[in-house]
Amino acid sequence: MKRIVILISGRGSNMQALLETKLPCEIAAVISNRADAQGLEIAKSHGIATAVVSHKDFADRATFDAALAKAIDGYSADFVVLAGFMRILTDGFVERYRGRLINIHPSLLPAYPGIDTHARALQDGIKIHGCTVHFVTPTLDHGPIIIQAAVPVLRADTAQTLAARVLREEHRIYPQAVRWLCLDQVWLDGNGRVASDRLEQPGTSLISPGLE
């Protein structure tokens, strides 16, 4: 059975979604860079081991990342899952876990990398927004895409209401992506592309505003 380590910085609602899903893997530990992260208590309540590697204890990103990697490797992790981990990782760290490090981002990448995705989407007047699970690469929020979910942008939306609608989809697709990885149904191939042995599933179009 595959082992995963989850990295968080705050409450970790996506972490909680993973903990509450019957995944075909062992969640070996939850690690945070903040000792006051709410998600640590949530993980403990599920019987999951926790650890803190505070970025404030290190002089630079490289030494922090080295300590973080040591903590992760202590749990013999097959995959490292970022769930609201608010630190930019060094290229060396990312390459160390190439093909084993995944993240969820609140936009339909490659649109809106970085922060404030919902406010930026509303400012641009887009009609369809969403979220993306992807492999992490040295280029921020531009790694190969595993799965995406889309939602309509409604006329009365605020950044908060849109974020809530997207978050519901995040809680659906992140467990699915982790399940595929743990079952070896999705992987990063030698060309740096997402490969899968799953059949394409027919779906329906999302059109917003709807057609008359």
Question: In Å, how far are 69, 112, 136, 208 from 10, measured between CA atoms?
Answer: 19, 22, 20, 33
Based on the residue annotation, tell me whether 105 is a catalytic residue of this protein: yes
Other Cβ atoms less than 10 A from the Cβ of 50: the count is: 17
105, 118, 129, 171: the catalytic one is 105
Strand partners, 2: 25
Whether the Cβ atoms of residue 30 and residue 50 lie closer than 8 Å to each other: yes
Query: Do the bridges between strand 2-8 and strand 79-82 make them parallel or antiparallel, or are there none, so unpaired?
Result: parallel
Catalytic residue numbers, as ranges: 105
